[in-house]
Amino acid sequence: MHPDSTYNLSKREAMKTLFKKAFIPLSALGSTLMMLPARATDFTTSLATVGATAYGSAPEADIYKIIGEIVFAIMGLLGVVLLVLILYAGFLWMTAQGKEEQITRAKGMITNAVIGLVIIMAAYAIATFVFTAILNAAT
């Protein structure tokens, strides 16, 4: 055994330890700092809106806005369902253990789910454009 091999092994262990002790906490800190701007909101505006709604002085909801919110909620839900389907198909593929029938089924599911996801994203973009145009024309 070459004397440098033990040095390389200990150096490798030192790098793993450094990675565990430095990189993971720093990445956790970085992800926490990225979320901080989301907390910068004006609570008085939100509370005023809730209060106006509770006491009946809020403006009536526009039917176009309600329909748009329903459409966007449905599309968002469909997107989540398709992402779960992709994960399930990936799980099927990974647990196929070489069974060609199950692998082919999983590949088909992934392909169909990705196509569906692309269609949902395109529909979301089109719906955003259409509902924005309708709301701008109505006001």
What pLDDT is recorded for position 57?
65
Answer yes or no: is 57 within a domain: no
**67-71 mean pLDDT:** 85
Concatenate the DSSP letters of all residues of 64-118 into one string: HHHHHHHHHHHHHHHHHHHHHHHHHHHHHHHT-TT-HHHHHHHHHHHHHHHHHHH
Taking Cα atoms as reference points, which of 77, 76, 83, 105 lies closest to residue 93? 105
Is residue 94 situated within a structural domain?
A: yes
The number of folded domains in the chain is 1
How far is it, in rounded angstroms, from Cα 58 to Cα 47? 12
Query: Between 2 and 53, where is the model more confident?
Result: 53
- Provide the domain limits for residue 74: 62-138
CA 17 – CA 28 distance, rounded (Å): 17
Q: Is the pTM of this model over 0.85?
A: no
Which residue carries 């150096």 as its tokens?
11
Q: pLDDT tens across 78-134, in order?
A: 999 999 999 999 999 999 988 999 999 999 999 999 999 999 999 999 988 988 888
Q: Is the residue at 4 inside a domain?
A: no
68 touches 135 (CB < 8 A) = yes
